[in-house]
């Protein structure tokens, strides 16, 4: 499967997320919170994730408008994996380029979440599922970046199978066909065993705050 073309850029996507949130949620939220809600609304067990992260008013309004608030695969690609953004995440969706201190803080936050036992367990499962894809030089190089691993973990949590695969391809590149069944099996296990709400909530919060 080939990587899809993306439209727009991170600044435009964040503006769209912000506008939707202001229209549909009566409580004023930061850009990070708005983006986190957009990610949660597109994820498995979105109701439980929203309950964990927000109060009754925000949770109720977000669930009511989840279809409109959810980050689409095209937005996922444009926001998290734009062509202009390097693996270090030097560009900011909030406009311009990050200063050195904020870049270092973002990298450290991603690194800390990447080293959690739950992340290591999920990493092993993904590496088993994508073993042929990760044998390719370009995909392996991308996978070695903590931010890429976090985005693939988020892709695995997407509500629909099609969205999950599109987000995966946008993040890591072409997926070898022989891995597709194992990827589907991995998602089936996640759905049947239940989402680790604390880990996924932390994953989303980390990516939202470092984008």
Residue boundaries of the structural domains of the chain: 10-209
Which carries the bigger pLDDT value, residue 67 or residue 91?
67
Confidence at residue 69, expressed as pLDDT on a 0 to 100 scale: 97
Crossing angle for the helix pair 197-209 and 100-114, to the nearest 10 degrees: 160
Task: Indicate the pLDDT class of residue 211, thresholds 50, 70 and 90.
Answer: confident
Chain CA centroid to CA 194, Å: 18
Task: Dump pLDDT digits (tens) for 90-125.
Answer: 345 554 445 677 778 888 889 999 999 999 999 999
What confidence tens digit (pLDDT) does each residue in 128-179 have?
A: 999 999 999 999 999 999 999 999 999 999 999 999 999 999 999 999 999 9
pLDDT digits (tens, 9 = 90+) for 1-37: 434 444 478 999 999 999 999 999 999 999 999 999 9
> What's residue 43's pLDDT?
96
3-state secondary structure of 157: coil
Measured CA to CA, the distance from residue 139 to residue 180 in angstroms comes to 15
CA separation, residue 46 to residues 17, 63, 87, 155, 190 (Å): 17, 8, 28, 14, 14
User: What pLDDT is stored for residue 63 in this prediction?
Assistant: 93
Q: Is the pLDDT of residue 45 over 80?
A: yes
Average pLDDT over residues 188-198: 94
Confidence of residue 71 (pLDDT cuts 50, 70, 90): very high
For position 98, what pLDDT does the model report? 55
Q: Which residues pair with 43 in a beta bridge?
A: 158
Residue linked to tokens 């993040």:
171
pLDDT-derived band at 83, boundaries 50, 70, 90: low
Q: What are the C-alpha distances in Å from 123 to residues 10, 118, 128, 203?
A: 26, 9, 9, 13
- Record the tokens describing residue 77, joined without a space: 């690609």
More confident residue, 204 or 103: 204
Long-range Cβ pairs for the range 132-141 (8 Å, 24+) = 132/176, 132/178, 132/179, 133/172, 133/174, 133/175, 133/176, 133/179, 136/173, 136/174, 136/176, 138/173, 139/172, 139/173, 139/174
Token readout for 166 is 């599109």
Dist. CA 136–CA 177, nearest whole Å: 13
Res 88 pLDDT > 90: no
Residue in the block written with tokens 């444009």: 78
């Amino acid at each position: 499967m080939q990587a899809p073309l993306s439209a727009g850029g991170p600044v435009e996507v964040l503006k769209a997320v912000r506008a939707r949130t202001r229209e549909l949620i009566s409580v004023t939220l930061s850009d990070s919170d708005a983006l986190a809600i957009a990610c949660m609304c597109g994820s498995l067990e979105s109701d439980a994730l929203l309950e964990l992260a927000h109060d009754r008013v925000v949770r109720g309004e977000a669930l009511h408008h989840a279809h409109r608030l959810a980050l689409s695969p095209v937005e996922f690609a444009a926001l998290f994996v734009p062509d202009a953004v390097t693996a270090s995440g030097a560009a900011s969706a909030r406009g311009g380029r990050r200063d050195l201190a904020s870049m270092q803080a973002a990298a450290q936050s991603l690194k800390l979440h990447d080293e959690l036992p739950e992340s290591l367990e999920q990493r092993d499962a993904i590496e088993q599922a994508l073993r042929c894809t990760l044998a390719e030089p370009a995909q392996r190089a991308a996978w070695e970046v903590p931010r890429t691993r976090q985005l693939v973990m988020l892709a695995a949590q997407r509500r629909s199978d099609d969205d999950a695969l599109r987000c995966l391809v946008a993040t890591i590149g072409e997926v070898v066909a022989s891995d597709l069944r194992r990827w589907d099996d991995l998602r089936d296990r996640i759905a049947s065993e239940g989402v680790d709400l604390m880990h996924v909530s932390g994953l989303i919060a980390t990516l939202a705050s470092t984008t």
